[in-house]
Each structure stands twice: as C-alpha cells, then as structure tokens.
Structure 1
Amino acid sequence: MGEQQKEKLLVQQNNSEESVEEEESLRKRAWKESKKMWMVAGPAIFTRFSTFGILVVSQSFIGHIGSTELAAYALVQTVLVRFANGVLLGMASALETLCGQAYGAKRYDMLGVYLQRSWIVLFLTSIFLLPIYIFTTPILEALGQDKKIAQVAGSISLWAIGIIFAFSVSFTCQMFLQAQSKNKIIAYLAAISISIHLFLSWLLTVKFKFGLNGAMTSTLLAYWIPNFGQLVFIMTKCPDTWMGFSFLAFKDLWPVIKLSLSSGAMLCLEIWYNTVLILLTGNMKNAEVSIDALAICLNINGWEMMIALGFFAAAGVRVSNELGRGDSKAAKFSILITVLTSFSIGLVLFFVFLFLRERLAYVFTLDSEVAEAVGDLSPLLSISILLNSVQPVLSGVSVGAGWQSVVAYVNIGCYYLIGIPVGVVLGNLIHLQEKGVWIGMLFGTFVQTVMLITITLKTDWENQVVIARNRVNKWAVKENTEPNSGSPISS
C-alpha cells in the first residue's frame, strides 16, 4: 500500500507540474499574441483618432466663419464624404485579405503588385464617384435643401474631390503596411498631419482670414501630407515587399475587383447605418432636440468606434497572416485574444458612460433639454459601445479570412431587413421616438453579432488555411516569372 500511495503522489505531482507548465505556456502565448495584436491595433487606433480629429478641427474653425458654412460643411461631411469613405475604405479592405495572407505565406513579392492593383481599382472607383461632388448643388436643391446652404455645399464638395483621391492612396498604403506590422510610421505621420492642420487652420482662417477656402486648403493638406510620407516609406523602406512599378498590376484585375466590391458592400452597409438613424430621427416630434441629443451620442460613439476599428484592423491582419502561414490554431487563438481585449475595453466604457449619463452632454451643449435627452439615451449609448467592442473585431476576422461577401449578406439582413424596420415600428407606431429607432438599430447589430459569432465558431479553420494557400498559390503562379513559382508554400 505504501508503494501505491507513493505512485499516486508522484502521478498527482506530475499532473500538477504539467498543469503549471500548460498555464505558463498559455500565459506566454497570450502575451506573445497580445504584443503582435497591439503592434497593429495601437498605431491603428491612434491614426483613426487623428484622422477623426482632422474633421473636428475643420468643423470648429468653419463654425467660426458662419452658420451657413458650418451647416454646408456638416452636410457634405456627414453624407457625401462619409459615403465615399465607406465605399473606398471597404474596397481597400480587400487588400488587407490579399496582403495579409501573402505576407503570412512569405510571398513578399506579391504585396507590391496587390497594392498597385488596388490603386487602379480605387482610382477608377473615385472617378465614378465624381459626378456626385461636381453636381452637389443641384442634387441638394432637388432634395429640398435650402438654396444658400446647397450653393456653399457645392463649393465645399469640389474641395472634397481632393479628399476622395487622398482616401484612395491613404487606405491602400495603410493596408499594405499593416499586413507587415509596419504601421508605426502611419501613426507618426498622422500625428504630424493633425499638428500641421491645427496650425494652418488658425493661420489661414483666423490670422489671414481666408475663410472657407483657407479652412478647406488646410483640410486637404492634412489628408495628403501622410500619403506622401507613406509612399516615400514604402518605396525606400520596404525592399522585400515593394519591387517597383509593374505591368503585372494590370493583369488579373477581375478577382481583385470582385473581392473589393464585396468588401465595399460589407463596410458601407455598416458605416451608412448611423446616417439612416439620423434621417429617421429627423421625422420625429421635437426633431431639433432629438437630432441634437442623438448627434452628441453618435459623436461619442464615433470616437469610441475609432478604438473598435483599430481592433478591426488588428483582427484582419493577425488572422490573414496566420492563415497565410498555414497555422489554423494560431488564427483561432489570435481571434480569442483580440475579442477578449476589445470586449474588456468596451465593458469598462459601458459602465463609464452608463454612470455619467447627462453629464456627458454639457461638454457639447449648454441646453438642459438636450442634456436631459442625452441622459435618457445614455443606456442605449452604453449598450451600443459594448456591442461595438465585439462586432467590428468579428468583421475584421471575416476580412482576414476573405469572407466579405458572406458578411455583406449578413449586414443586409440584420441592418436593413431587421434593424431599420424594427426601429421604425418602435419609433413611430409604438411612439418611443428616437429611443425606439435606436433600439431597433441595436437589435439589428445584436443579431449581426450573434450571427458572426456563430459563423466564426462553426468555421472549419483547417479548410480556411487550404483556401488561403490556394488563393496565394493561384495568383503567385501568374505573377512570378520564375519556373518554380508554382511550388507549394511551406507552412
């Protein structure tokens, strides 16, 4: 019996040692993955905050020029520029799939060709969008907007053409660099850009009083300065992934166009969702207070979304890298770490905004009625922030795996066939006003989140590795002139 007891003790000791080792191994893996994730998420969040800050700076200086100019700028920015932003950012996210998987598979020569193909696709898309910005005044007048505001908006939208083409360069360069985790340069350039923008806005609008033209000149430069910096960095500091301009960029464009279109549809449906929320609220009773309160909540939500979009980028890069590398377990682990990190931040912000309530509003307004309305909406704002901490990460996973078309269908169903109809019923028929509209929209987002979680959990990730490898091999054969270019990619 003594020997048996000793054996049992030895087995228990060995088991406890193994569990300790597994726990330490798990901690090391989690720490290693967190570092990789934050290498993408940190600069991405800072860059998006800075880019969002450009809009805030421009709006504050234009607000001091005149109320008509402010209204016109807000109209162009929230409807027309957001429209282009959604289309071009969505289409550029196709590059995140392609570059991420190619980089993971160590096919570095393919990244530069993908970047050039994406430039062509986005440049052509920008040209197709031009009529909206050239004929803004008659379009807005036909939609019943005030003629004076429509005329000023028409002149601002001509400046916005330069911003659209800036998006085409900016988004693609960012995806290219993020796929290689070389995105610190993006954050540095964003910081320099907003600093210059702040100074130039003051110089041109306050000091020299160039008015709207001065403010828009500064805004346009703020978007283009990072682009020049990114292009110089890519062409001088990325020798493995940038081999120079190539005629291969004009070959096999159709697969890139298809993936870009599905990516664009996926992201546009999300970005335009808040615009629909504002439009629906405009038809409510006491619309002015409702819109003001909702605008404050969406402004806060917009800042928080910059964090969520940083994790969106991180999830896309990490999943695409690991699938390209051929490691399905690492891809799943990166999803878990990114979701848990983003959700933890969202949970903290959920309680912060739930606690602050109407006190939030006094940062933006002195109107007690609007502040009270914001306090009434703050629980919905908190829930929205919590959902935003998970849903964009799962959308990022879909970008990394190349499921954009699937998520586009999910978004159509959840947002436009569930969320908006429920919001209209609750807002108008049950008379919950703007709160009802928002509850409906949140319900749509909740259903979408549940569906994305289900898709992610039920996915055969080993099969996703095969799909990613086939995609890289198929396009690599066409792009590489060497006789052994079709050889299998090692894990």
Structure 2
Amino acid sequence: MGDDLRSKLLTKVESDEEIEDTLSKRVWIESKKMWVIAGPAIFTRASTFGLGVISQAFIGHIGPTELAAFSIVQTVLLRFANGILLGMASGLETLCGQSFGAKQYHMLGVHLQRSWLVLTVTATMLLPVFIYTSPILKALGQDDSISEVSGVISLWSIPVLYSFVFSFTCQMFLQAQSKNMIIAYLAAVTLGIHIFLSWLLTVRYDYGLPGAMLSTILAFWLPNIGQVYFVIGGGCKDTWNGFSTLAYKDLWPIIKLSLTSGVMLCLELWYNTILVLLTGNLQNAEVAIDALAICLNINGWEMMISLGFLAAVSVRVSNELGKGSPKHAIFSIYNCVLQSAIIGFALFVFFLFFRGRLAYIFTDSEEVATAVDRLSTLLAFSILLNSVQPVLSGVAVGAGWQSVVAYVNIGCYYLLGIPIGVVLGYVVNWGVKGVWIGMMIGTLIQTIVLCIITLKTDWDKQVASARQRVNRWLLADTESTNLA
C-alpha cells in the first residue's frame, strides 16, 4: 500500500512538472511571436512620435507662442487627422491579419490597395480643416496670436497629412506578416536625419519655423518611400502580386469596416485633444497649454510602448482567428496584457520619481516646469492606465468588433469622462487637474468594460466570424476575376 501511495505521489509530481514545463514553453514561444511584432512596432512608433517631439523641442526654443501654436496643431489638428486615418487603416489590420492566418496571402496586396484609395480620399476631405485652422481656433476661444501662428504651421502640415496614408497602411500590411523590422530600420535612419536637419535649419542657418517644418515634412515622407519600395520591389513576394483592378471593385464593405474602425480609434485619440481645448479656455492659457503638452508628450512616449503591444495583440489575435485557433488567441491576449502591464508599472514608478525635472527637455521656463511638476502624479497614473487599455483595443481590432468598442468609448469617454472633467475643472475650480481627473475616470471605466467584454467573449464564435469574413472577400474577388 505504501509503495502504491508513493507511486501516485511521484506520478502527480511528474505531471505537475510537465504542466509547468509546458506552460513555460507556451509563454516563451508566444512571447517570441509577440515581440517579433511588438519590438519593431514600439521602436517605430517611438521614433515616429519622436519626430514631432524633436520638432517641438527646436520650435520651443524659437519662442513660447510658436511652442504653444505647434503644440495645438500637433495635439489637436494632427491628432484629429491621425485618429481618423489610423482608425480607418486599422480595418486593414483586421483584414490582413485574418487573411494571412487563413493563408489567403494574395488577398493582402488587394486589401492594401483598397485601403490606399479609401484613405487618400479621406485625407483630401480633411484639407479644409488644415486650410482654415486660424478661424476655427479663434471660434473655439483660443488666443488670437497663438491661432495665427497655428494657421501657418497647419499649412506646412498638409504634406504630413498625406504621409499618414502610406505610413499606416504599409505598417499594418507588413505587421500582419511579421515583416515590420524593415519599418524599424527606416524609422531609426529617419530619426537621425531629422535631428541633424532640424539643428542645421533652425540653429545653424536660423531659418526658424519654416526650417523646422521643412525638416518635419522630409522626416515623415522618407520612411514611406522606403516602405513602398520594399513592398512593391520584391520584399513581399507572396502577398504583393502587383497592382490589380480588383482594388477598385467591391469597395463598400471595406469602407464600412474602415469607418467603424475610424470611429473607434478617433474617439480614443480625440479624448486628449478635448483636454487641450478645455485647457485653452482656462486662465494663463499659454503656460497651461505648454505644461499639458509636455505631460502629454511624455505620456505619448509611453503610449508608443502600449501601441506596440496593441499592434502585436491585434496581429496575434487576427492570425490565430484566421487559423481557427481560439485557445491560442486567448493565450496571446493574456500574455500581451500581462507584459504590457508590468512595463507600465515600472514606468509609473519612474515618472513619479522624476516628476517636473523632465520638463526642461522641452522648455527653459521655470513656470512651465513647475506646472508640469504639479501634474506629475496624474501623468504617472495615466501611464499606468494606458499600459492596459490600448492592448484591449488591439484585441477588438484583431477580432474585428470595432463597432462595439466605439459605443463603449462614446459612453465612457464622452457621456462620463468629459462631463465629470468639466465639472471638476470649471465648477469645482480645480483647473487642468480637474479636467484631467475626470477624463482619467472615463478611461478607467472604459478599461474595466473592455476587460469584461474580452472575458465574456465566445472565441469559438469569433473564429467562425473571421472565417466568414475571409471567405466573403475571397469569394467576391474570385467572382470579380471570373467576370473579368
């Protein structure tokens, strides 16, 4: 009897070790797949975000009015356009990821061309906002001098607007295939060029604002040229079969998916934009905007890490759903959220420690640095929240249920967060702190709701939906080819 009991205990120990070994291997394998996408994505997004920060740093030393104007254009106008175009491009992320997982490789190139068409038309429709920036900002109650300089900067930003079309679509096309390392290389080279050109044109030759904006335009377009050349020049032989007339057919479904994707992401990205606009109506607006812009830039750097995880989880989920593997999709979600949260907590502690000292990277003003120091606690908690929330949005992109998240965003951000922020900022008279606290409450509620949705989702049904989506596009294009 003793030998029998001992045998059972040994069997149990071996079984537990086997399970543990299997789990550790699964985590290791999944982490490698995730970081192949997340690593280059984080670096690329940080480098791209750094382009604006570098421009802001050089413009900040030209004058406080120029800094405030550039902050508004970058945080409000470009984020407005960025939100629409990036959001609409995330529809391509769903289609490419699921098609690649289903091994329908030839469809990725067709989806890419369709997205180029849709986003180019959308960017053109946004032009009036860039042309009439000054009167729009004045109508919204912004300072006249800041509004005038913002109008000049917005005209310089029109080429940047069109650069988003190719930047976002090529990145998502390549990410779906885990080929985004080329994007990271291009981003690194461009970052170095931008630093040198910004110094050369604004410091060495003193061209001021035009010099800084010219360097910014070149910095946004150089990687696009490299990405497009890589895609059509042989870097994606399986997924790019040349330009096709199929790209002009059956566009309405991709327009609908792009629109729902755009609404979902816009509602998130415009949230901080509203924070800046509300701050512009407070007393001592120039200092308040400068301090808030610096905090949002620091927050934006951390957000690039979260967006890298967003890209990774959306690709991993869409690939696994396309393959028909719901369990692997769920495991990818847990793994990605956990690692992003750990990094977010480390950065939370880091920014609590350094507080306002980081402000001197962007400004020489002690008044602005003091204002940043007062906002540092809110900044640290925002960073902690942002380590989880974007990853859950990436799950929605990978699964293709952006429309559901759009409704969640409307309720949490615009029906709860903003009204609470207005009350705390203007009625309770807490100023920019009150506005920010209210909007953080909205983000917290949204994160909780997305967690619940993700946990309660029937992933077997999501596999069936992905298969139906992929087959729908495949059949439509096969019929179009046969008719031709």
TM-score by length of 2: 0.94
Q: Secondary structure at the match of 1:197?
A: helix
Structure 1 residues 6-53: Cα deviation after superposition (integer angstroms, max 9, x where no partner): 122112111111110111010000000001111111111111111111
Other-structure match for 2:30? 33
Q: Secondary structure at the match of 2:13?
A: helix
The one-letter amino acid paired with 1:231 is V
| 1:429 to 1:483, Cα distance in 2 relative to 1, 3 A | closer
Other-structure match for 2:181? 184
Other-structure match for 1:487? none
1:69-468 to 2 correspondences below 5 Å: 69-143=66-140, 145=142, 149-235=146-232, 236-285=234-283, 287=285, 289-364=287-362, 370-468=368-466
Structure 1 residues 29-84: Cα deviation after superposition (integer angstroms, max 9, x where no partner): 00000011111111111111111111122223334445554443333222211111
Moved more, 271-280 or 423-432: 423-432
| 1:35 to 1:66, Cα distance in 2 relative to 1, 3 A | same
CA distance in 2, matches of 1:113, 1:164: 23
Quote how far apart the aligned CAs of 1:458 are.
0.2
| 1:285 to 1:135, Cα distance in 2 relative to 1, 3 A | closer
Q: Secondary structure at the match of 1:103?
A: helix
Moved more, 327-336 or 253-262: 253-262
CA distance in 1, matches of 2:59, 2:92: 35
CA distance in 1, matches of 2:150, 2:31: 45
CA distance in 2, matches of 1:201, 1:385: 29
Contact 2:163 2:221 in 1 (8 A): yes
Q: Secondary structure at the match of 1:295?
A: helix
| 1:363 to 1:193, Cα distance in 2 relative to 1, 3 A | closer
Quote how far apart the aligned CAs of 1:220 are.
1.0
Aligned CA-pair RMSD? 2.2
Other-structure match for 1:45? 42
Contact 2:424 2:435 in 1 (8 A): yes
- 5+ long unaligned stretches in structure 2: none
Moved more, 396-405 or 429-438: 429-438
| 1:366 to 1:206, Cα distance in 2 relative to 1, 3 A | closer
Contact 2:57 2:361 in 1 (8 A): no
Q: Identity rate of aligned residues, in percent?
A: 66
User: How many equivalent residue pairs?
Assistant: 481
Quote how far apart the aligned CAs of 1:418 are.
0.6
Contact 2:56 2:362 in 1 (8 A): no
Quote how far apart the aligned CAs of 1:421 are.
1.1
| 1:59 to 1:108, Cα distance in 2 relative to 1, 3 A | same
CA distance in 2, matches of 1:342, 1:78: 24
CA distance in 2, matches of 1:90, 1:333: 25
CA distance in 2, matches of 1:339, 1:27: 17
CA distance in 2, matches of 1:365, 1:374: 11
Question: 59, 63, 70: which is aligned to 1:62?
Answer: 59
CA distance in 2, matches of 1:366, 1:172: 38
Question: 18, 23, 36: which is aligned to 1:21?
Answer: 18
CA distance in 1, matches of 2:321, 2:86: 23
| 1:358 to 1:406, Cα distance in 2 relative to 1, 3 A | same
CA distance in 2, matches of 1:136, 1:288: 18
| 1:373 to 1:164, Cα distance in 2 relative to 1, 3 A | closer
